[in-house]
Amino acid sequence: GATIGILGGGQLGRMLAIAAAQLGYRCHIYAPEEESVAAEVSAGFTRAPWSDGEALGTFAAACDVVTLEFENVPVGPLAAIPAAKLAPPARALEVAQDRLKEKCFAEQHGGRPAPFAQVDSPADLAAAIERIGTPGILKTRREGYDGKGQWRIAGPDEIDALELPADDLVYEGLVRFEAEFSVVLVRGRDGEVRFWDSPENVHRGGILATTTLPAPDTVTEHVAAARELAGKIAGSLDYVGVMTCEFFATEDGPVFNEMAPRVHNSGHWTIEGAETSQFENHIRAICGLPLGDTATIAPRIEMENLIGSDVERAEEILAEPGAHLHLYGKAEARDGRKMGHVTRLGR
Ligand code: ATP
Ligand code: MG
Ligand code: MG
């Protein structure tokens, strides 16, 4: 079998490597950190910084195709990887790494993000609040995940006390949503696009807590419009692999939140709950194989993230009929750290 290179060493890479192994491929992981739960289930591990173009080039030369599980890989050094070997393309990373660019990109493709403004100075923030109003959220444009790098602003008087971080920022109005949902799609090398059913996603403290199917009507009525946007974005990027867009369901339609150029936590349910999982279809897409059926195969599905000390419930979960436990093999159950997940299939 061929060799797949994966940039990033976390649980998404681990689940990709497991799916790849089932199809006869072997994986090599590239990551800067010493601990890699992806490398533990892979055939090779290059530990080097993201900025090391030479190491990236050597890594790519040993792989037939290179993909990623971490969206914040700096785009510059990626030039060391031949474009034909890299899926998804670097352009997808460039857009998805910057909240300002991704909102503009969604708008250009007919999507509607929350009202937003670029913030580079205290004066910009005052002007943004004047125009957009409060409550709102100030976010770093780059590198945030699991709600990190975000400050909620309840009223205009709060900005005096706020110490602006040095990063580039974006301010956005708080969306009063009925529910949150995601569109997870896979796009093949020939441009074929398939969608999984959209789940309802519930976040706690900025971190995904649960993903549930079927989603309520408040979500399903917006799925067609959300898919249209996600499909356009993927097509315009000449995307190959699994891509995810997060949305807020509102009375006025779907509001685009952000995109992820990779497999996504809200797609973990597809391992047991769909004919073909997001991980397998990502491997199929980047390897140029025919895509698998994305149909949901159970009437009710819930994915629950095991965050921090939640992982202490693992034994209880193992005793539950219909519960599928996944542990990522991380050494330390720090607060807010995704340690595993459980998918429950119901009738
Ligand atoms: P992820 O881990 O999904 O990449 P992230 O750190 O990039 O998360 P966001 O998706 O921007 O962060 O925000 C995390 C959560 O905070 C959202 O899922 C939503 O619950 C809430 N949130 C973010 N922005 C808004 C908004 N403009 N209006 C209402 N809620 C919001
Ligand atoms: Mg994000
Ligand atoms: Mg998000």
Domain that holds residue 24: 3-86
Q: Are residues 190 and 230 both part of a single domain?
A: yes
Q: Are residues 63 and 154 both part of a single domain?
A: no
Looking at the domain assignment, is residue 224 inside a domain? yes
Looking at the domain assignment, is residue 103 inside a domain? no
What span, in angstroms and rounded, lies between the C-alpha atoms of 177 and 172? 14
Q: Are residues 9 and 140 both part of a single domain?
A: no
183 CB less than 6 Å from ligand 1? no
pLDDT for 214-239, tens place per residue? 999 999 999 999 999 999 999 999 99
137 CB less than 6 Å from ligand 1? yes
Average pLDDT over residues 263-282: 98
First vs last C-alpha separation in the chain:
38
Looking at the domain assignment, is residue 238 inside a domain? yes
Taking the CA of residue 146 as reference, the ligand 1 atom at the shortest distance is 2
Ligand 1 center to residue 144 CA distance, Å? 10
Q: Name the percent of the chain in helix, strand, coil, to the closest 5.
A: 30, 30, 35
Reduce the DSSP state of residue 102 to 3 states and report it. helix
Looking at the domain assignment, is residue 74 inside a domain? yes
Does this model's pTM top 0.95? My answer is yes
pLDDT for 92-107, tens place per residue? 999 999 999 999 999 9
Question: What is the longest distance spanned by two Cα atoms in the chain?
Answer: 61
Q: Are residues 268 and 293 both part of a single domain?
A: yes
Looking at the domain assignment, is residue 101 inside a domain? no
Average pLDDT over residues 187-196: 98
Looking at the domain assignment, is residue 251 inside a domain? yes
Consecutive H or E run containing 173? strand 169-173
Distance of CA 218 to the CA centre of its chain: 23
Q: What is the CATH number of the domain that holds 44?
A: 3.40.50.20
175 CB less than 6 Å from ligand 1? yes
Average pLDDT over residues 163-187: 95
Average pLDDT over residues 58-74: 97
Q: Are residues 69 and 217 both part of a single domain?
A: no
Of 28, 83, 77, the closest CA to residue 50 belongs to 77
Q: What is the CATH number of the domain that holds 253?
A: 3.30.470.20
pLDDT for 3-54, tens place per residue? 999 999 999 999 999 999 999 999 999 999 999 999 999 999 999 999 999 9
Q: What is the CATH number of the domain that holds 134?
A: 3.30.1490.20
Q: What is the pLDDT, as a whole number, of residue 98?
A: 97
Consecutive H or E run containing 324? strand 323-327
Q: Are residues 200 and 240 both part of a single domain?
A: yes
Distance of CA 214 to the CA centre of its chain: 20
Q: Are residues 217 and 330 both part of a single domain?
A: yes
Taking the CA of residue 203 as reference, the ligand 1 atom at the shortest distance is 20
ipTM of the complex: 0.98
Measured from the alpha carbon of residue 150, the closest ligand is 1
What span, in angstroms and rounded, lies between the C-alpha atoms of 133 and 136? 7
Looking at the domain assignment, is residue 72 inside a domain? yes
Last residue of one domain, picked from the residues 37, 66, 86 = 86
203 CB less than 6 Å from ligand 1? yes
pLDDT for 236-263, tens place per residue? 999 999 999 999 999 999 999 999 999 9
Q: Are residues 194 and 50 both part of a single domain?
A: no
Q: Are residues 333 and 291 both part of a single domain?
A: yes
Ligand 1 center to residue 203 CA distance, Å? 8
**Environment class of 321 (CB within 10 Å of its CB; exposed 0-12, middle 13-18, buried 19+):** exposed
Q: Is 203 among the annotated ligand-binding positions?
A: yes
The tokens describing 234, both together, are 């993927």
What span, in angstroms and rounded, lies between the C-alpha atoms of 93 and 76? 11
Reduce the DSSP state of residue 101 to 3 states and report it. helix
Q: Are residues 320 and 253 both part of a single domain?
A: yes
Q: Is 101 among the annotated ligand-binding positions?
A: no
Handedness of CA 122, 128, 129, 135 (dihedral sign): negative
Ligand 3 center to residue 244 CA distance, Å? 10
Looking at the domain assignment, is residue 97 inside a domain? no
Q: Is the pLDDT confidence value at 1 over 80?
A: no
Q: Are residues 326 and 302 both part of a single domain?
A: yes
Q: Are residues 329 and 276 both part of a single domain?
A: yes
Q: What is the DSSP string of 257-316?
A: EEEESS--GGGTTHHHHBSS-HHHHHHHHHTTPPPPP--B-SSEEEEEEEEGGGGGGHHH
Question: What does DSSP say about strands 169-173 and 136-140: parallel, antiparallel, or unpaired?
Answer: antiparallel
What span, in angstroms and rounded, lies between the C-alpha atoms of 281 and 290? 9
Residues contacting residue 12 through CB under 8 Å, at least 6 positions apart:
38, 69, 70, 262, 263
Count of structural domains, the chain: 3
